[in-house]
Amino acid sequence: MLHRQARMASNPDASNLPIGNLEELEQIHKKERKDLQSKIQALKKSCAKGDKKKKKEVAEEIVKLEADLEKRQQEQISQFESSQPAPVAEVAGQIDGLALEEESSKGPRLTKAQKRRDKKAEKDKEREIQIAQQEQENKFGPRNREEVAIKELLKARKLQLFEVPSNGDCLYLAIEHQLKEKSRPSKDVSELRRLTSAYLRSHEDDLRPFTCNPSTGCEFSSEEYSKYCDRVEKDSSEWGGQLELQALSEALSTPIEVLQAEGAPVILGENHRPTAALVLTYHRHAFGLGEHYNSVAQYCAAKLLQAPSSRAQLVAFPGGEERSIQVASFEQEERVVSQMNYPGSVGNIMSLSYAGAGRVLALFEAGDLLLWDLRSPRKPQGAFRINLGDDDTAPSAAMCLAFSAPKSLGVVGSSDNTLHSFALDAGGFRTLPSAKITNEGTNHLCFRPDQKILAAACWDSKVRLFSTRSIDSKTVFRPLAVLPTLVEDKSFSCVTFSDKPVESFGGETILAAAGDACSILLWDIYN
């Protein structure tokens, strides 16, 4: 394998620093971005409350610092990649080989139509070359690294990326999709633009200091601000950013959370909690045109409500954008036998569990629990909220639910380091003592068939076991063991117990955990 070294002379901090491979350069860039974020936070804190002039100066300086760093790092990447052997010429040669032979200079004169066709063919060929080059650059480039990082963030929340077209409307398209996801009143792009523009106009004194004329570097004049509001409302090529998101958050009276590959999530409209936040993803490197916003969509595993040996096999699963939980019967053929609707205010559904006696228990992202009776599914039979903590800057998200019907005991895992337990009996819901784990994040919970042990699949590539016992009429969890694993730096996505002895495992009943590294680990914890 051929290795080359490039010197990043354009970086004053890394001048004459030999870079052996792209990974080393990425590490340098990551540290530079982290240092810049620290500097930006210090600049923001230096602004006295109410000092609009200082805020404007700081905002302008932040924009310049970010632009300078982005430009310098892109130059370094381009300089490095230009020193590497590129297969683009090969692709260009292959495409050239497919081109029609040029007509002889002595041949008939080309018509205008033929010239247009030839010109179009030439442009298409150039575009194919550019695409091939872009794909090669993207393979190890910032776009791919950013997408992987964002998908990992979403995976931890049981969310998936929902892509919207890359144009000036991308922010508004993402908000439009989120409103549907949360079952909020539907608003199309044109209506969202009108709402944004109206809020910007009515709060000019508060928001104009955060604008900047790209030509002069100065704050918009009142006339320029008015024209800017016109463009926001009517021009589909006018891209939206944080200022427009702030306006939308206030106009819609809802928090908006923006996830990004690097740095903490940006949360706008904190004053509108506990309404479930609209969630967007911010992509700095997705397209050559600049920043881009996408939406997210939920995913939640289906839940078998009765054992396979039962005559009727019922499965509960999320109903998608209908904001419902559907129950299907597989006794003869797949058919929906029940549907339970829930309000959009509780956010995305995260986990389902069978609560016994024909009841279904659902967990939502903000910690809400709703209970339905399949015999009367029109409205929930009960509701309860798990307290996931008071950290508004980085609120925890509920992740998983396990319920033991024989013990009337439920457990909720979240993105923090706490297992939250509750009781559900004839008296309704009540809170029980919680249990702590060493590191943050629980993906999946499962009770052993005898209900004596709880297994937790955690983000830190560990499977933890807890026993249940009763103290003063309250069930508490006691840590038993952390099972040894062979997978490092990967989380476990699910864990389950076999309900029968496994012959190939010595006739024992076993515990199985599935990891993100495409591995399944088995344990015998009964003996």
- Asked if residue 286 has pLDDT above 50, the reply is yes
346 in the same domain as 284: no
pLDDT at position 217: 86
The pLDDT confidence band at residue 473, using thresholds 50, 70 and 90, is low
- Asked if residue 515 has pLDDT above 90, the reply is no
Residue 512 resides in a domain: no
436 in the same domain as 381: yes
Q: Which helix (H) or strand (E) holds 265?
A: none
- Other Cβ atoms less than 10 A from the Cβ of 105: the count is 5
Assign residue 194 the CATH number of its domain.
3.90.70.80
273 in the same domain as 321: no
Residue 194 resides in a domain: yes
pLDDT at position 492: 77
Secondary structure (H, E, C), 30-84: HHHHHHHHHHHHHHHHCCCCCCHHHHHHHHHHHHHHHHHHHHHHHHHHHHHHHCC
Query: What is the C-alpha to C-alpha distance for residues 283 and 164, in angstroms, rounded to an integer?
Result: 12
Q: Tell me the β-bridge partners of 28.
A: none
- Contact predicate 419/466, CB 8 Å: yes
146 in the same domain as 71: no
pLDDT at position 203: 95
Residues 6+ apart with CB under 8 A from 482: 462, 463, 464, 465
User: How much is the average pLDDT of 177-201?
Assistant: 89
| Average confidence score pLDDT of the chain | 79
- Asked if residue 169 has pLDDT above 70, the reply is yes
Among 187-196, 465-474, 507-516, the least confident range: 465-474
The pLDDT confidence band at residue 474, using thresholds 50, 70 and 90, is low
Residue 438 resides in a domain: yes
Provide, rounded to the nearest whole percent, the portion of the chain with pLDDT above 70. Answer: 79
* Interhelix angle 189-202/170-181, nearest 10 degrees: 110
The pLDDT confidence band at residue 95, using thresholds 50, 70 and 90, is very low
The pLDDT confidence band at residue 308, using thresholds 50, 70 and 90, is very low
330 in the same domain as 434: yes
- Asked if residue 277 has pLDDT above 50, the reply is yes
pLDDT at position 12: 43
In the chain, the number of structural domains is 3
286 in the same domain as 146: yes
367 in the same domain as 293: no
- Asked if residue 205 has pLDDT above 80, the reply is yes
Does a cis peptide bond (omega within 30 degrees of 0) precede residue 274? Answer: yes
Residue 501 resides in a domain: no
More confident site: 133 or 503: 503
Q: End of a domain among 237, 266, 299?
A: 299
More confident site: 499 or 17: 499
Query: What is the C-alpha to C-alpha distance for residues 41 and 214, in angstroms, rounded to an integer?
Result: 23
450 in the same domain as 358: yes
pLDDT at position 20: 58
Residue 62 resides in a domain: yes
344 in the same domain as 409: yes
- The CB-side HSE value for 96 (13 A sphere, CA atoms) comes to 6
The pLDDT confidence band at residue 102, using thresholds 50, 70 and 90, is very low
- Contact predicate 249/270, CB 8 Å: no
- Going from the C-alpha of 305 to that of each of 95, 159, 241, 317, 410, the distances in angstroms are 57, 24, 45, 10, 16
Q: End of a domain among 483, 504, 520?
A: 483
Residue 405 resides in a domain: yes
Assign residue 453 the CATH number of its domain.
2.130.10.10
Instruction: Domain of residue 264: give its range.
Output: 141-299
The pLDDT confidence band at residue 4, using thresholds 50, 70 and 90, is very low
The pLDDT confidence band at residue 509, using thresholds 50, 70 and 90, is confident
- Asked if residue 76 has pLDDT above 50, the reply is yes
Q: End of a domain among 264, 299, 334?
A: 299
349 in the same domain as 289: no
User: How much is the average pLDDT of 339-362?
Assistant: 85
Residue 30 resides in a domain: yes
Span 209-263, pLDDT tens digits? 999 988 888 999 999 999 999 999 998 888 899 999 999 999 999 999 999 988 8
2 in the same domain as 73: yes
Read off the tokens for 395: 């609120």
370 in the same domain as 236: no
The pLDDT confidence band at residue 166, using thresholds 50, 70 and 90, is confident
- Contact predicate 282/291, CB 8 Å: yes
Residue 493 resides in a domain: no
